[in-house]
Amino acid sequence: MALTGMGFGRFHLILLMLWTLSQYSASSQVRQEFQVLEEQPIGTYVGTIETKPSFTYRFSENHKLFAINGTTGVIYTSSVIDRELLQSDVINKEYSLTIHAVDNGVPALSGRTEATIKLLDVNDNDPVVKFRYFPTTSKFASVDENAQIGTVVALLTVSDSDSPTANGNISVSILGGNEQRHFEVHTSSVPNLSLIKVASVLDRERISSYNLTVSVSDNGKPMARSSFASLVIFVNDINDHPPIFQETLYTVDISEDIPKGSYIKGVSATDGDSGQNANLRYSLVSGNALGWFSISENSGLVTSAALLDREIASEIVLNISAKDQGLQPKISYTKLIVNITDVNDQVPTFTQSTYHVSLVEHAPAGTELVMLSASDDDLGANGTIRFSFDAETPASVQELFRLDAMSGRLSTAMELDREDQASYLLHIQAADAGSPPLHSVGKVNITLKDINDNRPVFYPVMYGGAVWTREIEGKKKKSVSGRVLDMSDGVIGSCGNEGRGVVVVGKCQTQGSISLPGAFVHHSRGMQMAESDIEITVYLRVFCISFVSACLLCVSGKLFGSHSLSLSLSLSHSLSLSLSVLWISLIHKSCWQPTSKSLCFSVSHSLSFPPLLSLCFGDAEPPPT
């Protein structure tokens, strides 16, 4: 079938598009290789794949270690890579990544390419040394003094996690302890295994043991990494000499707060023999009843096996033995005196958690309240105690008291009034002078004891009432009430002849009543008695606690509605009396003939004593005819 002009043009366009796409995707099958060092920061550039315009690139699956820029084709690290921690299935420490390229056409066409990323080693691991002795159960190396040159003394194995080709090629040498060149290092056909051998004739009488410092180094670039290890070698001999300690008495000062496992002292003994005959074992024979110390049986290093406490024991005497391992072992002894020095680990302790103190109010400033006492088992400054007010005690309260920091003497700074505040709770701090200081807090509970320094007060201050004349004698007319500020004082009184009428303000009474002692008549110019002379006597009985020198009685009011009575006088024993009398208005009810008799009051200390004071009140004008 022949193509028309329009059909031929479309066919030509399709062929052109297919050719163009094939050109852009032709490189998608090329494998590209990249390298990157381990331990590089995130975002480190790895490489760029060959790209074409209008293509988007991505990995075939999500990858934790690498990422790709979809437009530029740049591959970079997405995490810090540790070559030594990669899984064993990563062959030769290489990663193969499949990258997809997708165009923007409709429909979209895609291709893929392969990228290989090789992780290069960085020398970031130190070689690790281990020794093996003969026999394998031995904890140290030994050699007979008659051993032949070339005798193997110990095996040395070295491991290095870095690449053996780049950074893991190990070299071994003896840096110290081999000044006589009695030993040397030989490499073996087994990788990373070296042999420590005898290099010259040994003389046990000259040198009975060796402590070799062995150095192992890799060949990393640009800088090698090294490790060091210590190898102790004992020379064996026949057992004809006892062990001899370097000192017959060792002493050491240690702090009581050293942690468990701390170095205390190294004791050392020598034996003229060699081998098992000079192979010494150290032990603690006695003096370690508290279990505070242990000794290395091989090296003689004494270390702490528990936490120490100077307050339990300040000096420990350890008896230490050194015993060789000959068939007929010989043994020697030495002593180690451990002096345990103090640290500030004891909190000051009050002899009482709470002190209870009673104080009479208004005691003079400087009155001693209590002598505080605290103890601290530490020594020196660590056990020196200073007293002070704790922050829980308000500053306003602290100003009321004085505290001697050295002696703990607590006293008043001013007079205290129980009516202002009846008790105080002080928080006292006892702190030592250690660094840092330790402290505890004790309490002082202060209770103020009352003295009779406040007058009873009536409420209300003034009382009044109306009484009809010729009322029945003894009828209650008015109640009074009052209060006494002090705790233990009181006043009880009565008025009227033969107990007629009563006024009470007392220790156990806060209200009472006044009764008419008789019948009264009313006159427009005053008030007069209608009966014979009646004298009203007020008797006082005072109740006071110990050391109280004053008691008060207060009654206030008006007499007859127009006359006021306010009396204060001083009696013996500093008795202060303030007296006012209730007023009673009399209302005329009958027309009795008035008389000129007056109403009188008298004050007496008790019922059995004469009155101390008498007061009479009446009408100054003569009664009407």
Summary mean pLDDT of the chain: 71
Residue 286 has pLDDT above 70, yes or no: yes
Distance in angstroms (rounded) separating the CA atoms of residues 213 and 231? 6
For residue 336, what are its two tokens? 């180690």
Residue 393 has pLDDT above 80, yes or no: yes
According to the model, what pLDDT value does residue 35 have?
75
pLDDT digits (tens, 9 = 90+) for 21-34: 454 443 445 678 88
Distance in angstroms (rounded) separating the CA atoms of residues 158 and 143? 23
CA angle, corner 312, sides to 310 and 315, nearest 5? 60
Residue 60 has pLDDT above 80, yes or no: no
For residue 212, what are its two tokens? 């070799």
Identity of the residue numbered 263: Y
Residue 528 has pLDDT above 60, yes or no: no
pLDDT digits (tens, 9 = 90+) for 179-192: 999 999 998 888 88
Q: Which residue has the tokens 């120490």?
A: 308
Q: How far is CA 235 from the centre of its chain?
A: 55
Q: What are phi and psi of 546, to 5 degrees?
A: -60, 145
Q: Write the secondary structure of 597-610 as one string of H (helix), E (strand) and C (coil).
A: CCEEEEEECCCCCC
In the structure, what pLDDT confidence band is assigned to residue 369 with cuts at 50, 70 and 90? Answer: very high
Start-to-end C-alpha separation, the chain: 171
Distance in angstroms (rounded) separating the CA atoms of residues 199 and 51? 66
Q: List beta partners, residue 486.
A: none
Residue 295 has pLDDT above 90, yes or no: yes
Neighbours of 522 (CB within 10 A): 20
**CATH fold of the domain at 243-341:** Immunoglobulin-like (2.60.40)
In the structure, what pLDDT confidence band is assigned to residue 352 with cuts at 50, 70 and 90? Answer: very high
Residue 386 has pLDDT above 60, yes or no: yes
pLDDT digits (tens, 9 = 90+) for 78-100: 778 776 666 554 546 677 778 87
Distance in angstroms (rounded) separating the CA atoms of residues 231 and 184? 12
Which of these ranges, 140-144, 160-164, 244-248, has the smallest mean pLDDT? 160-164
What is the mean predicted confidence (pLDDT) over 339-359? 92
- Residue of higher predicted confidence among 40 and 426: 426
For residue 477, what are its two tokens? 């007319």
What b-and-e string marks burial along 410-441, b requiring 16 or more CB atoms within 10 Å of the CB?
A: bbbeeebebeeeeebebbbbbbbbbeeebbbb
According to the model, what pLDDT value does residue 619 have?
41
Distance in angstroms (rounded) separating the CA atoms of residues 366 and 252? 51
In the structure, what pLDDT confidence band is assigned to residue 268 with cuts at 50, 70 and 90? Answer: very high
Residue 339 has pLDDT above 70, yes or no: yes
In the structure, what pLDDT confidence band is assigned to residue 464 with cuts at 50, 70 and 90? Answer: very low
Close Cβ partners of 524 (under 8 Å, ≥ 6 residues apart): none
Please choose, from the candidates 47, 37, 30, the residue with its C-alpha nearest in 3D space to the C-alpha of residue 98: 30
Residue 449 has pLDDT above 80, yes or no: yes
Distance in angstroms (rounded) separating the CA atoms of residues 26 and 28? 5
Residue 72 has pLDDT above 70, yes or no: yes
What b-and-e string marks burial along 571-595, b requiring 16 or more CB atoms within 10 Å of the CB?
A: eeeebebebbbbbbebeeeeebebb
Residue 133 has pLDDT above 80, yes or no: yes
What is the mean predicted confidence (pLDDT) over 581-601? 40
Please choose, from the candidates 416, 422, 492, 489, the residue with its C-alpha nearest in 3D space to the C-alpha of residue 454: 489
Residue boundaries of the structural domains of the chain: 28-120, 128-236, 243-341, 349-449, 457-617
Please choose, from the candidates 245, 405, 428, 423, the residue with its C-alpha nearest in 3D space to the C-alpha of residue 324: 245
Q: Do 28-120 and 349-449 share a fold?
A: yes
Contact 432, 439 (CB under 8 A): yes
Query: Please, what CATH class does the domain formed by 349-449 belong to?
Result: mainly beta
For residue 550, what are its two tokens? 């004053």
**CATH fold of the domain at 128-236:** Immunoglobulin-like (2.60.40)
Q: Write the secondary structure of 394-452 as one string of H (helix), E (strand) and C (coil).
A: CHHHHCCEEECCCCCEEEECCCCCCCCCCEEEEEEEEEECCCCCCEEEEEEEEEEECCC
According to the model, what pLDDT value does residue 162 have?
65
Neighbours of 218 (CB within 10 A): 25
Query: Please, what CATH class does the domain formed by 28-120 belong to?
Result: mainly beta
Residue 315 has pLDDT above 90, yes or no: yes
In the structure, what pLDDT confidence band is assigned to residue 308 with cuts at 50, 70 and 90? Answer: very high
Query: What is the model's pTM?
Result: 0.38
